[in-house]
Amino acid sequence: MLRYFIGCMLLLGFMFSCGKDDFNDKPDVTITAPGEGLFLQVLDTIIVSADYSDDVMVETIEVKLVDENFSVADNTVVLPEFKKSGSISIEYVPQDVYLPSGQYYIEVKALDGEKSRQRYVSINIGSYPLVWEGLLVATNDGAMSLLNTSLEIESLWDFPFTFTKGVMNNVDHQFYVGNSALGQISTVDQDNGNLIWEGLVSGVGQPGFFKDMVYSTVSEKVYAATTESEVMVYSNQGVNYGVISVGNNNEVESLCTMGDYLFVEVDSYSQSDNGLMIYYTPTANLYNTIWMSSDIVKMVPLNDDELLILANNEGGNGILSIYSLVDETLSEIYQSPDQALSMVMGGGQKLYLSMSDGVYRIDMIANQIDLMATGSGPTDMVYDVVHNVILTSEGNTLRYFNSSWTMQGEHSFSSEIKGIYNIYNK
């Protein structure tokens, strides 16, 4: 009898010690639309419908586009539900006009706070027809010029302020201008040069207020790095979505976007290393932080999952590394005894490195590096896909080079060039 009593007590103790997770099954999800094999282009609307159920409350449903490796390929839509069962039906629009053609999947994921389940339906996306319209050249005096498809300069607009940073949104044909003198962001309609929106932001009157600006075609937001420890977030119409704070002991240095992620380089006051803080843009949550004993010069996406990072270590040596979102690892692939200045990805997966001793071309497929030119390289470079040339800015001079780094021409401006930006017609 005593043995039976002890056994019952042990059984009851085991049952009551089981937490919620032991009784919580994964949610069930069924995609009801679209059907398998739908063909569309970027910016087409997809009706995504799904049914879900769970033994506990489903908190959110996520809808996203993923590639054949199930990596995020475009924007993520997060729907708060807080039901045990229900249905969703939304209009999902792929936004990335640079998305290559091929097979993709619509992913619908149900999350109950502890467990999740996702389902997939395959779709086919055709490459979006982009037309290169030229290069926008912004100079320090507020003048905006266009290097057109004939590689001739046209004067566009003049702003009554000192230009610091800008970024192009080719999906909506808008250009975002950062004004250091007023701490101001302006949104410009590229088609006619009219201001759509302009507004003051915090820190008004601080010279050099904007350190960097990027636009994400996935989240459809502008991210502006300030001289403080925050990144300001705006829509393309100037709606303030708040700020991403990187902590009082960190100062934002530069930004880069890749898929659903925002990469923020920070200078830390609390430790000697610099940090690369990675945020998941749909929720603005911190995803990962990497501490580096080097200063980042430039970040360029290699593909949907890998980011190229060019930096200089404490000894002034240039280092090229790859950060993998899948493995969450930073791997060094090239080191130079000379200082790194800039980089750009050209055609055929050719990466051009600008160093203090010359310009190098790295074939990322063949894993081969070649010296293209000697002497100090340029500090800013972009790739013109139509003419297959690299455009560089040094002081008030714009130059363009072919893939063998032979100069094809140059233009001079009355003021220092502060930024060069590709313009595509959607």
- Looking up residue 226, the CATH number of its domain turns out to be 2.120.10.30
Least confident of 30-39, 212-221, 355-364: 212-221
The pLDDT of residue 343 is 93
Q: Look at 370 and 97; give whichever has higher pLDDT.
A: 370
Residue type, 34: P
Fill in the DSSP letter of residue 26: P
Are 182 and 233 members of one domain?
yes
Note whether 120 and 220 are same-domain residues: no
The larger pLDDT score, comparing residue 163 to residue 211, is at 211
180/242 same-domain check: yes
**Same domain assignment for residues 183 and 252:** yes
CA–CA dist 338, 371 (Å, integer):
13
Q: Which two tokens stand for residue 341?
A: 């200045």
Neighbours of 98 (CB within 10 A): 12
Give the residue from 227, 257, 292 where a domain finishes. 292
**pLDDT score at 206:** 47
Alpha-carbon span 343 to 349, nearest angstrom:
13
Of the candidate ranges 36-40, 69-73, 157-161, 198-202, the one whose mean pLDDT is the lowest? 198-202
Look at the alpha carbons of 147, 148, 152, 154 in this order and tell me if their dihedral is positive or negative. Answer: negative
Residues 177 and 91 in one domain: no
Q: Structural domain tally of the chain?
A: 2
pLDDT at position 426 is 53
DSSP string, 298-346: EEEE-SSSEEEEEEEETTS-EEEEEEETTTTEEEEEEEESS-EEEEEE-
Rounded mean pLDDT of the chain?
A: 80
Q: How confident is the model at residue 298 (pLDDT cuts 50, 70, 90)?
A: very high
Write down the pLDDT at residue 332: 92
pLDDT higher than threshold 80 for residue 156: no
What is the rounded distance in angstroms from the CA atom of residue 354 to the CA atom of residue 212?
Answer: 20
Query: Higher confidence at residue 101 or residue 34?
Result: 34
Phi/psi at 423 (5° precision): -120, 125
- Is 151 inside a domain boundary? no
The CATH number given to whatever domain includes residue 29 is 2.60.40.10
Last residue of a domain, one of 126, 143, 177: 126
Evaluate whether residue 418 is within a structural domain.
Answer: no
Burial status of residue 368 (CB atoms within 10 A of its CB: 0-12, 13-18, 19 or more): exposed
| Triad 199, 204, 209: Cα angle to 5° | 95
pLDDT (average), residues 205-231: 75
CA distance 64 to 48: 10
Q: Is the confidence at residue 372, as pLDDT, over 90?
A: yes
- Spatial distance between the Cα atoms of 192 and 311, rounded to a whole number of angstroms: 38
Boundaries of domain holding 213: 169-189+201-292
Are residues 24 and 84 in contact, defined by beta-carbon separation less than 8 angstroms? no
Distance (Å, whole) CA 314 – CA 291: 14
pLDDT value of residue 24: 63
Model confidence at 374, pLDDT cuts 50, 70, 90, reads: very high
Q: Is 211 in the same domain as 122?
A: no
Q: Give 169's DSSP letter.
A: E
In a domain, 42, yes or no: yes
Cβ–Cβ under 8 Å, residues 112 and 123: no
- Does residue 393 belong to any structural domain of this protein? no
- The reply to whether 92 and 182 lie within a common domain is no
Q: Is the same domain home to 112 and 207?
A: no
- Phi and psi (nearest 5°) for 349? 55, 40
Q: Cα torsion for 123, 127, 129, 130, to the nearest 10°?
A: 120
**Final residue belonging to a domain, choices 110, 126, 142:** 126
Residue 210 lies in a domain: yes
Of 348, 243, 330, 252, the C-alpha closest to 291 is 330
Q: Is 331 part of a structural domain of the chain?
A: no
**Could you give the CA distance from residue 64 to residue 93 in angstroms, rounded to a whole number?**
10
Total count of residues recorded for the chain: 426
Q: How far apart are CA 103 and CA 70, in angstroms?
A: 11
Q: What is the mean pLDDT of residues 242-247?
A: 83
Strand partners, 213: 224
The model's pTM: 0.68
Would you say residue 144 lies in a domain? no
Both 93 and 177 in a single domain?
no
Q: Does residue 66 sit in the same domain as residue 122?
A: yes
| Residues 181 and 270 grouped into a single domain | yes
Contact (CB, 8 A) for 107 and 69? no
Residue type present at position 109: K
Whether residues 87 and 177 fall in one domain? no
Q: Find out whether 147 and 393 touch, Cβ atoms under 8 Å.
A: no
Q: Do the bridges between strand 116-126 and strand 38-41 make them parallel or antiparallel, or are there none, so unpaired?
A: parallel
| pLDDT score of 9 more than 70 | no
Query: Is 391 part of any domain?
Result: no
